[in-house]
Amino acid sequence: MGASPTPEGVSFRVWAPTATSVEVEVYGHPQECHPMQPLGDGTWIAFISGLKSGALYKYHLNGEDSYPDPYSRSQPEGVHGPSEVVDPEAYTWRDRGWKGLEAKGLVIYECHVGTFTGPGTFDSLIDQLDRLAGLGINAIELMPVAEFSGTRNWGYDGVYLFAPTRNYGGADALKRLVDAAHQKGLGIIMDVVYNHMGPEGNYISQFSPYYFNSRYKTPWGEAINYDGPESQWVRKLVSDNACYWVHEYHVDGLRLDATFAIYDSSSPYLLQELGHTLRNSVPPERSVILIAETSENDVRYLLPSDTGGYGFDAVWADDFHQSMRRYLAGDNEGYYRDYRGTLEEVARTINQGFLYEGELSPFGGRNRGTPAREQPAQGFQYCLQNHDQVGNRAFGDRLHHVIDLDRYRAASMVLLILPYTPLLFMGQEFVSSSPFQYFTDHSPDLGRLITEGRRREFAYYSAFNDINSLEKIPDPQAKETFLRSKLKLEEAAKSPGAEISALYRELLRLRRSDPALSKQDRRAMQARAIENDILAVHFHAEEGDRLMLANFGEEKSLSASDISLDSIGGLRILLDTNEPRFGGSGNLVAWHGDTFKLPAHCAVFLAV
């Protein structure tokens, strides 16, 4: 589908089942219209001799208006402008021999291209690859890069699924980034949105009335038609898109946004079909990672497709973040009402993978979750920050903005020592001072609605119980909101960022090299809360047991039995977050006889 260049010219194909006529309108001096021929299946084709890569075009429908190609590979003038013919074979790749990522051992770094660097481009992100590889991550997850309206956006309002946005440098620049990442041993995971399309520049319904399904509603707009009339063409669109990122851009996996809002009552379910098609499209030695963003806690995502599952490698397991944030920062509104804010609850989440396994959710008003205790640890993606949990706060404040650095260091150890797949959100590794706020750049009329809607979201929160408080919430349309969200990368080399970065590097080194951690065996791990403020996690391995203690309260003296040991005499410190090299006070854990002293606001990893 779309525009496909050949040595002799360019072939075009578009699905427009209800059109009476379709022409390719080629932009030039003057513009030319070339008639397309119907194939009888709802698609139209044309071949234009002599046309080359770089040509601009739209499809002229029914002798009336012209629109960009739904399969456009490039929109150099934005969502309302013409599409550009792109030669998918023009780029010379240097990543021969790269086999992709494995689910086990993943450490993911979530990144918004536009705010990660000052220029906010794919090419400028390349300059940061050495630092990220040195940190110890092995995969960069790009927030959506499909073309969106205006110059700034989170990316979830994309409308041209195949066109890397011009705002970040476009198609060739994205290929350069992926290629460079592979040279550094880093994989790229692409965040894709298959549950809705953005509100501006969304001309897809002009080509077919069957792209959307009025039977369902999503929180963000019309539901995409995956089970209604002519849905096979819509399913083809997203299946083609998934394969496109892996084949034309060599990306290593996809993170699917809000899969709970992908509605499909047909069989096979869209997610099963998509995963099957994608994985069968690559050679056996090439792995592809699939991650689902959902709060459902549904084990079906992790089960193989031949047993009725969806065949995903991992799901976002938000219960860990929510229970930790509720405990550390005291958040108690919205979905945080589902959590009691105790370390006992955190420990139960760690042991189960999910906290909710079918219990009633007070916030949602229904039962949520299924048991998934038999699933491997890498199937659960844990975090302390991500774009949603930061950016969907009124002011975009990060966890380290609201708790002290001592407890933040301890929480970071908990995240990175656990066997689950950790996700870091850009900047958390150097305690970025920048918030991450919600920003858009829509047309004035739509932008006004976005601003009003954003403030209306928080009207039911106690902190925003009057109009003056609501008006303090940053305006998504203001350019300053976007600029505030840009990282100050120089902070990574200054205190306290340099010391926190050193802690992250050392924790990730331990995660790779320590035999009790590198196995990611959740069956050999047990978490429990000691009193109110101490979390203990035991790891068992043939090479030697390990113990992590995180104290989020005041200094505490413990006995061997308190920490489930026969004796504390043989303990050996492998890492203490209070070490001065990590910015700590130097007040380290110590033991004498049968008494174990655990300083306030610290975490320690011990060989038993």
Of 21-25, 206-210, 428-432, 448-452, the range with the lowest mean pLDDT is 448-452
Please compute the mean of the pLDDT values over residues 419-447 and round it to a whole number.
97
Look at residue 456 in the predicted model and tell me its pLDDT.
84
Look at residue 207 in the predicted model and tell me its pLDDT.
97
CB 111 within 8 A of CB 145: no
From the list 157, 191, 293, 576, the catalytic residue is 293
Confidence of residue 310 (pLDDT cuts 50, 70, 90): very high
Integer Cα distance of 414 and 574 in angstroms? 14
Confidence of residue 119 (pLDDT cuts 50, 70, 90): very high
Same topology, domains 2-84 and 521-607? Answer is: yes
Confidence of residue 28 (pLDDT cuts 50, 70, 90): confident
Does 531 have pLDDT greater than 90?
no
Look at residue 485 in the predicted model and tell me its pLDDT.
98
Does 592 have pLDDT greater than 90?
no
User: What SS3 string covers 408-446?
Assistant: HHHHHHHHHHCCCEEEEECCHHHCCCCCCCCCCCCCHHH
Of 20-24, 113-117, 366-370, 451-455, the range with the lowest mean pLDDT is 451-455
Query: Has 404 been annotated as catalytic?
Result: no
Instruction: Give pLDDT tens digits for 78-91.
Output: 999 999 999 999 99
Look at residue 458 in the predicted model and tell me its pLDDT.
86
Does 355 have pLDDT greater than 80?
yes
Look at residue 89 in the predicted model and tell me its pLDDT.
93
Please compute the mean of the pLDDT values over residues 232-257 and round it to a whole number.
97
Q: Are strands 187-192 and 139-142 parallel, antiparallel or unpaired?
A: parallel
Look at residue 49 in the predicted model and tell me its pLDDT.
95
The tokens for 334 are 């919205």
Does 221 have pLDDT greater than 90?
no
Instruction: Give pLDDT tens digits for 415-425.
Output: 999 999 999 99
Please report, rounded to a whole number, the percentage of residues in the chain having pLDDT higher than 90. Answer: 90
Instruction: Give pLDDT tens digits for 453-483.
Output: 888 888 778 778 767 788 889 999 999 999 9
Instruction: Give pLDDT tens digits for 100-116.
Output: 999 999 999 999 999 99
Look at residue 374 in the predicted model and tell me its pLDDT.
95
Averaged confidence pLDDT in the chain: 95
Look at residue 222 in the predicted model and tell me its pLDDT.
87
Domain 521-607, CATH among 3.40.50.1970, 1.20.1560.10, 3.30.2290.10, 2.60.40.1180: 2.60.40.1180
User: Of 295, 411, 399, whose CA–CA distance to 346 is shortest?
Assistant: 411
Look at residue 455 in the predicted model and tell me its pLDDT.
85
Look at residue 35 in the predicted model and tell me its pLDDT.
97
Query: Domain locations in the chain?
Result: 2-84, 108-343+374-507, 521-607
Does 58 have pLDDT greater than 90?
yes
Coarse DSSP helix, strand, coil percentages of the chain, rounded to the nearest 5 percent: 30, 20, 45
CB 174 within 8 A of CB 249: yes
CATH of domain 108-343+374-507: 3.20.20.80
Classify domain 2-84 by CATH architecture.
Sandwich (2.60)
Confidence of residue 190 (pLDDT cuts 50, 70, 90): very high
Element (H, E) at 498: helix 497-513
Query: Has 257 been annotated as catalytic?
Result: yes
Please compute the mean of the pLDDT values over residues 197-211 and round it to a whole number.
95
Spell out the residues 6+ positions from residue 3 whose beta carbon is closer than 8 angstroms to its own.
10, 11, 12, 57, 69, 71, 72, 73, 83, 85, 86
From the list 141, 257, 345, 388, the catalytic residue is 257
Q: Are strands 146-147 and 253-256 parallel, antiparallel or unpaired?
A: unpaired
User: Of 379, 324, 370, 318, whose CA–CA distance to 346 is shortest?
Assistant: 324
Q: How far is CA 339 from the centre of its chain?
A: 23
Does 30 have pLDDT greater than 80?
no
Look at residue 424 in the predicted model and tell me its pLDDT.
98
Confidence of residue 29 (pLDDT cuts 50, 70, 90): confident
Report the Cα–Cα distance between both ends of the chain, in Å, rounded.
60
Look at residue 574 in the predicted model and tell me its pLDDT.
97
The tokens for 516 are 């009790």
Look at residue 306 in the predicted model and tell me its pLDDT.
86
